[in-house]
Structure 1
Amino acid sequence: MSTQRIISICPSNTELLHALGLMDRVVGIDDYSDWPPEETAALPKLGPDLNIDMDKLIALRPDLVIASLSVPGMEKNVDRLAERGIPHLVLNPKSIDDIYEDIRILGRACAVEERAEALILELQGKVRRVQERVAGRTERPKLYWEWWPRPLISPGQLNWLTMISDLVGAHNLFADKPGDSYTAEHSEVIERAPDYVFAVWCGVHADKVKPSMITEREGWQTVPAVQNGRVLVLEEGLYCRPSQRLFQGLEELADILEAR
């Protein structure tokens, strides 16, 4: 099957297509695909990732639509693609190894296998260099990752941020919770006393979030991260999307922990 006309309905997929040099084949994307900015701005938008306009999608005559179950609720779009007989590929990454495999899957589907293997080697090299940087660290700081503030949603055991935390010699605060996400109570965060709080609110640009939105919460003044000025707002695109940009986030995280 020729894959000259590709549609991505998830931001991380769009980013992987860019890393594989395939953006010239992309004819449509979801509304939240915003990276790289110049190329995504010029493409037709098909609606939010959880409610894709199927009529507009069909009108673009795709050879392949790429979805991802990393976005909760994407199943509805996948069902609609299947009902209409539209060729599609469904990724479901939960770990760094899954991202490597997704790159291979896309490489095979789009006949760019060599590019895919080269990209995997490049990303593995970034991981190896970070591991070498933190090899001598004796402290293992506790990181509270906040995906959403109301309710408090954080990555659980089966999410890539647990592995990202481990790779920099740290520990995801809720790594012991099953599944890929966990809804926490404020009291749990306070009791677990994280050394760092990282606000990565999904779909919210970092300039819209202020550390004071966290530090001024009732009872949080006893949290070590708050007491030590370690409540940081990070670019969610580097931590919430399972693409090559996550490895950039890994490097940034290593820098943050070294500096503090």
Structure 2
Amino acid sequence: MRIISLCPSNTELLEYLGLTHLLVGVDDFSDWPEAIAGLPRLGPDLSINMDLVEELQPDMVLASLSVPGMEKNVVALQQREIPHIVLNPQSLKDIEEDLIKTAEVLGEKERGLAAARQFRSRIENVKQQSRNTSKSPTLYWEWWPKPIFTPGKINWLTEISEAAGAVNIFQDVDMASIMADWEDVLSRKPDYICLAWVGVRKAKVQKNVVKKRPGFEKLNYPSDDHILILEEELYCRPSPRLLDGLEKLYNIIHK
């Protein structure tokens, strides 16, 4: 089959299924795995070149609604009658189900069921380790520094925190994403600050951005080790790579 992916999380899901070799084109932001480096690029996820998509004659397009504005891609696919499915996972369970759904559409049902079992097993393995820990640190996740955006209750990072034996300090807010106030962050006294800025590579994130904010000293951190600079690609995309992020987070906060 000839498959096209229109966003990074879909591309990564296909890799988890072991079906990357079926890809014939991807969006500009897909950057993993390395095997896709030479594939045709179809534009950024909010401005996909549908003429190029059509020229590649895909048997199936993996579309997404993970970012506001992607709806127009789905509409264009419908108008051109290009075969497609739409993925929009909001939770770890959704990702597990998308593994099954995608594989089935591609004629690989058993592969999808096996991938979903592996996905669930990895989560349960970390959860089991977390049950044996004596502490449950609180985490402040930061998706964007100015204005501050952080995940709320309806978000995979709240689940990732819990699975790692920790607590998202904004899990009481019944939203997926919150524009937060720094004073509110300080009042919740997180044990760790987790910086994973969307679209910003780890090397470009600086701890000083946080340390210079008014009142930072109130957190009384013994060292900078309580400010974690994390790979946004392991925490900000709803793909199976979140499990890599989960395992890494567990090892950091329970070392």
TM bucket normalised to smaller:
over 0.9
Letter in structure 2 aligned against 1:31: D
| Pair 1:29-2:30 in alignment | no
- 1:26-69 per-residue CA deviation (whole Å, 9 max, x = no partner) reads 111011100012x1211111111111111111111112111122
Which of 51, 54, 60 is matched with 2:56 structurally?
A: 60
Within 5 Å, which residues of 2 pair with 1:18-167? 18-37=15-34, 39-167=35-163
Residue number in structure 2 paired with 1:229 = 225
TM-score in terms of structure 2 length: 0.95
Residue number in structure 2 paired with 1:17 = 14
Secondary structure at the aligned position of 1:77 is classed as helix
Residue number in structure 2 paired with 1:197 = 193
Q: Pairwise CA RMSD of aligned residues?
A: 1.5
Q: 1:142 to 1:23 in 2, by over 3 A?
A: same
How many Å separate the matches in 2 of 1:224 and 1:44? Answer: 50
Q: 1:197 to 1:225 in 2, by over 3 A?
A: farther
TM-score in terms of structure 1 length: 0.93
Letter in structure 1 aligned against 2:6: I
Q: 1:226 to 1:182 in 2, by over 3 A?
A: farther
Residue number in structure 1 paired with 2:253 = 257
Q: 1:35 to 1:175 in 2, by over 3 A?
A: same
Residue 144 of structure 1: CA displacement?
0.8
Letter in structure 2 aligned against 1:116: G
Q: For the Cα contact (< 8 Å) 1:142–1:172, is it kept in 2?
A: yes
Secondary structure at the aligned position of 1:229 is classed as helix
How many Å separate the matches in 1 of 2:89 and 2:220? Answer: 32
How many Å separate the matches in 2 of 1:153 and 1:79? Answer: 29
Letter in structure 1 aligned against 2:126: V
Letter in structure 2 aligned against 1:213: V
Structure 1 residue ranges without an equivalent (≥5) = none
Secondary structure at the aligned position of 2:14 is classed as helix
How many Å separate the matches in 2 of 1:190 and 1:114? Answer: 48
Runs of 4+ deviating beyond 4 Å:
224-228
Structure 2 residue ranges without an equivalent (≥5) = none
Residue 224 of structure 1: CA displacement?
4.6
- 1:86-113 per-residue CA deviation (whole Å, 9 max, x = no partner) reads 2211111111111110001001111111
Q: Which moved more, 1:134-143 or 1:41-50?
A: 134-143
